[in-house]
Amino acid sequence: MKGCIFCNISEREIMAENELAVAFYDKYPVNEGHTLIITKRHVETLFEADLDELAAINRLIFDVKRLLDERYGPDGYNVGVNVGEAAGQTIFHLHYHVIPRYLGDVANPRGGIRRVKKSIIPYWAEGEKGGGRAP
């Protein structure tokens, strides 16, 4: 789609692809190797994608994981999708985040993507009730 950043990713940025999905590095990585996987077709969110596209994304997640394992040797991954403005989505072309994780990259990784709750439930904030720890 004209004007969509992810519809206009340049060939040289592409890390891996298949018939329906493309992977490239996030421009503002939250960790070394942070990668995005998108549909080739412009769809705004996860729920507008069709099952073939989701299968293609899943296959690419496995390919990207192999590449990232070779390049960075992470100890784990967070894989996830923000769906809608309320959930924090800022670019409205479906993208999966594949975020390599390294032991010690944060002091207490417990909770992983569940830690989004900290931003929903104020009393989970660091230093307050629960000490910022996910259950």
Residue 31 found at the interface with ligand AMP (CB under 6 A) = no
Binders of ligand AMP in range 65-84 (CB under 6 A): 82
In the complex, the smallest distance separating the C-beta of residue 28 from ligand AMP, rounded to whole angstroms, is: 3
CA dist list (Å): 7 to 72, 94, 99: 27, 10, 21
Write each residue from 34 to 53 as x if it is in contact with Zn ion (CB under 5 A), else as -, in one continuous string.
--------x-----------
Q: Which does 42 bind (CB under 5 to 8 A by kind): ligand AMP, Zn ion, none?
A: Zn ion
In the complex, the smallest distance separating the C-beta of residue 40 from Zn ion, rounded to whole angstroms, is: 9
Residue 88 found at the interface with ligand AMP (CB under 6 A) = yes
Helix count and strand count (H, E) for the chain = 2, 5
DSSP-derived secondary structure for 55-98: HHHHHHHHHHHHHHHHHH--SEEEEE---SGGGT--SSS-EEEE
